[in-house]
Amino acid sequence: MALTTQQLIQWKQQGRQIVALTAWDYAIAQLLDLAGVDLILVGDSMAVVLGYETTLPITLEEMLYHAKAVRRGVKRALIVVDLPFLTYQESIQQAINSAGRALKEAGAQAVKLEGGYPAMIETITRLVQAGIPVMGHVGLTPQSVHQIGLRQQGKTETTRERILQEAIALEQAGVFSIVLEHIPADLALQITQKLSIPTIGIGAGPHCDGQVLVTSDVIGLSEKHPPFAKVYTNLRDTITKAVQDYSVEVRERKFPE
């Protein structure tokens, strides 16, 4: 039976950690689900898997195409789809249309939006009122890469207070969970203790209610990975070696036997 947003909130109350990873196709999604991952994020980080340098170029159509494939591979995990850059910032109506398509066409159970500034709070409030579950995202927000870069956020008292207040405002707007990305561990702890909804950390230390990483980093498919990621296996080497062995056998007429 599929997990729900309410179950994740209950898990926070019970002190149960939430395991989250990203997926971009049927095969990976199926494996993550079978392995017991709780939340699968169809993240716009998939842009890098598709060969883009940042998350900005990826389109809603590309996100929905891959989200549909993920949906077909998942039976248990909660599926959350990132809304890509400029598919929700122009107007509330645009956000409702984009988020609605993620649920209606791709079968997602929720969407994720970046930022906690006043206009975004208004947008999220309207989405939740429309019956669309929303996950928030504060700290390092990759869609703002040209504005804030990819460095750790929340290092100064001013930025710490802003991130904390954004998280509080997001909870009040009705999000069921918040991603805390690349912020100091003590700030993540403060936010986690302050909120009644689960925090999901990525580069935010061990005190969050759950953790998420980009799956291509975890399995060693990425050319480079962020300093806070942990590589549990190296599929780049494994795949390269397998293809090299296959190539040798074909050229030496050893395959097929």
d(CA 172, CA 167): 9
Element (H, E) at 159: helix 157-173
User: Is 45 marked as a binding-site residue?
Assistant: yes
User: Is 249 marked as a binding-site residue?
Assistant: no
Which is catalytic among the residues 161, 166, 181, 223?
181
User: Is 237 marked as a binding-site residue?
Assistant: no
The pair phi, psi for residue 182, each rounded to 5°, is 50, 60
d(CA 81, CA 48): 16
Residue 181 annotated in active site:
yes
User: Is 82 marked as a binding-site residue?
Assistant: yes
User: Is 38 marked as a binding-site residue?
Assistant: no
How many other CB atoms sit within 10 Å of the CB of residue 39? 25
Task: Give the chain's end-to-end CA distance (angstroms, integer).
Answer: 45
The pair phi, psi for residue 79, each rounded to 5°, is -105, 125
Q: What residues are designated binding site?
A: 44-45, 82, 112, 114
Q: What residues are designated binding site for 3-methyl-2-oxobutanoate?
A: 44-45, 82, 112
Q: Which residues are catalytic?
A: 181
Q: What residues are designated binding site for Mg(2+)?
A: 44, 82, 114
